[in-house]
Amino acid sequence: MAEYTEAAPGRALVESGELVAGTMARTAAGLVFDDGSAKVRLDGGLAAWLRRTATAADTDPAAPVSSRARCRAGAALAFAAELSVTRAAQGRTVRTDGFLTPGPGDRAPADEVAEAVVLAARAVTEEWRVRHLGYLLAEAAVSPDLDAAVVFRGLRVATELTGRQWVLLAAVGRRERTPLPMTPVPQDPRGWTAWGALEDLTDLQRRGLLDPPPATPRPGGAALPRLRPADLRLTRRGVLVHRLLALHFVRDATVAAALAELA
Q: Is 159 within the bounds of a domain?
A: no
Which residue did the predictor score with more confidence, 69 or 6? 69
Q: Is 156 within the bounds of a domain?
A: no
Same domain for 137 and 182, yes or no, is no
Which residue did the predictor score with more confidence, 103 or 20? 20
Same domain for 93 and 200, yes or no, is no
Show the domain range for 45: 11-145
Same domain for 134 and 169, yes or no, is no
Give the percent of the chain with pLDDT over 90: 80
Q: What is the mean pLDDT of residues 161-179?
A: 96
Separation between Cα atoms, residue 219 and residue 217, nearest integer Å:
7
Q: Is 153 within the bounds of a domain?
A: no
Residue 225 has a pLDDT of 75
Q: Is 4 within the bounds of a domain?
A: no
Confidence of residue 219 (pLDDT cuts 50, 70, 90): low
Confidence of residue 220 (pLDDT cuts 50, 70, 90): low
Q: Is 158 within the bounds of a domain?
A: no
pLDDT 10s digits, 53-111:
999 999 876 667 799 999 999 999 999 999 999 999 999 999 999 999 988 888 999 99
pTM score of the predicted model: 0.93
Same domain for 56 and 112, yes or no, is yes
Confidence of residue 1 (pLDDT cuts 50, 70, 90): very low
Same domain for 207 and 245, yes or no, is yes
Give the total number of structural domains in the chain.
2
Give me the phi and psi of 211, to 5 degrees please.
-105, 150
Same domain for 131 and 171, yes or no, is no
Same domain for 139 and 202, yes or no, is no
Same domain for 123 and 15, yes or no, is yes
Q: What is the mean pLDDT of residues 8-37?
A: 92
Residue 104 has a pLDDT of 85
Of 145, 172, 195, the last residue of a domain is 145
Same domain for 19 and 115, yes or no, is yes
What is the average pLDDT score of the chain? 92
Q: Is 141 within the bounds of a domain?
A: yes
Which residue did the predictor score with more confidence, 1 or 237? 237
Q: Is 219 exposed, middle or buried (0-12, 13-18, 19+ CB in 10 A)?
A: exposed
Q: Is 137 within the bounds of a domain?
A: yes
Residue 40 has a pLDDT of 85
Same domain for 194 and 236, yes or no, is yes
Nearest to 71 by CA among 61, 85, 81: 61
Q: Is 69 within the bounds of a domain?
A: yes
Same domain for 107 and 49, yes or no, is yes
Same domain for 117 and 192, yes or no, is no
